Amino acid sequence: MLAPPRPDPSLPQLRVNLYSDTQTRPSRAMREAMLDAEVGDEQHGDDPTVHELCDRMAELLGKPAAMFLPSGTMCNEIAILTHCRPGDEILAHHTAHIATSEGGAPWALAGVQVNGLPGARGQFDVETLRAALRPHSRYAPPQTLVEVEQTANFGGGAIWPGTALRAVAEFAHAHGMATHMDGARLMNAAVAAGCPASEMTEGYDSVWLDFTKGLGAPLGAVLAGSSAFIDAAWRWKQRLGGALRQAGICAAACLYALDNNIERLAEDHENARILARGLAQLPGITVETPDTNLVFFDSEGAGITSSELSARLRRRGVQISEIGGYRSRACLHLDVSREDVDTALACFRTAIKEGE
């Protein structure tokens, strides 16, 4: 089935949702900010709240211009459509969201292929890029874009160090390729590394931030780049139906998130470390040490597959994300408190013992 299933009424109510930071609910205060938003026709350039958000995001991301879009997926695809021509090739990690989780959109919508690069923790280096270069010839697909994820989601929420990011960008530009950063969780990286986001985006021609992950907004993402890039991206925003009307009501939630939900990401990182330490003490569980708010772990030692573990936990009111095989992900976010982490760990303990 392709459509997402409705909640199963036979399951107990969820107590701790570690499935994803996408499942954060807009708080009362965020909803009140939305209520009072000044709005206008966004695709006509008349929404003052969207302008305010884009101006602040351009500054935060260190780029001259920005554009408000409904989702991060649309940011990635509009960036790809704007940078590339049909037949082109993108170089990205083989686990990149654009390659694994967007329904094949680079191929389907932009007519480009993603060359999936190897590398630990969702990252790759200049030597890997060099090895993937194709000759300049009529036989080879033109390689026009290098894409990185900060943080690397399937890499374990790993933070790319600034030096590695800059080396990749310099190499890409030296070989005539543009650079794009999927910054879905860029603020997690910036807060955890204690480094301004605009430093991490140096050398990237386009970058976006998601407001629906740890920042807790109901929808919205902002794509930034040069004025010429954002200008060209507007045609794709219009074509894909991403040009909006009174979008300020949603931009107001994003502004609220910028003011209130960034510094607190450090709490999610702390909770991730506590959860990781607790999981590592359970029999048969191997944990990848988290850099940010994502905790990846393996239950092969306990002989329990990811889907079985997730089902056992769900019956106890805890939801995690199955990655496949024995690998699972638990995600910390603003709707998971320190106490919830303890509750979840207690459920993990009994879930692992179940059936013994």
- Residues of this chain that interact with ligand PLP (CB under 6 A) are 22, 71-73, 76, 97, 149, 153, 182, 184, 210, 212, 221
Residue closer to ligand PLP by CB (options 197, 302) is 197
Of 256, 122, 276, 269, the C-alpha closest to 194 is: 269
- Residue 341: both structure tokens together: 């982490």
Residues 6+ apart with CB under 8 A from 258: 53, 56, 60, 215
- Nearest distance in Å: CB 162, ligand PLP: 18
Residue closer to ligand PLP by CB (options 292, 299) is 292
CB 307 within 8 A of CB 323: no
Rounded-to-integer distance, Cα 104 and Cα 84, Å: 15
Residue closer to ligand PLP by CB (options 71, 115) is 71
CB 119 within 8 A of CB 164: no
DSSP 301: G
Rounded-to-integer distance, Cα 170 and Cα 164, Å: 10
Residue closer to ligand PLP by CB (options 42, 210) is 210
Residue closer to ligand PLP by CB (options 314, 329) is 329
- Nearest distance in Å: CB 221, ligand PLP: 5
- Nearest distance in Å: CB 180, ligand PLP: 11
DSSP 159: P
Residue 283 CB neighbour total at 10 angstroms = 9
- Nearest distance in Å: CB 20, ligand PLP: 8
Rounded-to-integer distance, Cα 189 and Cα 207, Å: 14
In one letter, which amino acid is 352?
A: I
Residue closer to ligand PLP by CB (options 256, 348) is 256
CA Rg, the chain, in Å?
A: 21
- Nearest distance in Å: CB 123, ligand PLP: 13
Shortest-Cβ-distance residue relative to ligand PLP: 72
- Nearest distance in Å: CB 248, ligand PLP: 19
Residue closer to ligand PLP by CB (options 152, 249) is 152
CB 310 within 8 A of CB 326: no
Q: Are strands 321-324 and 327-331 parallel, antiparallel or unpaired?
A: antiparallel
CB 91 within 8 A of CB 128: no
- Nearest distance in Å: CB 222, ligand PLP: 11
- Nearest distance in Å: CB 72, ligand PLP: 3
Residue closer to ligand PLP by CB (options 72, 248) is 72
- Residue 188: both structure tokens together: 């997690």
Q: Are strands 327-331 and 286-287 parallel, antiparallel or unpaired?
A: unpaired
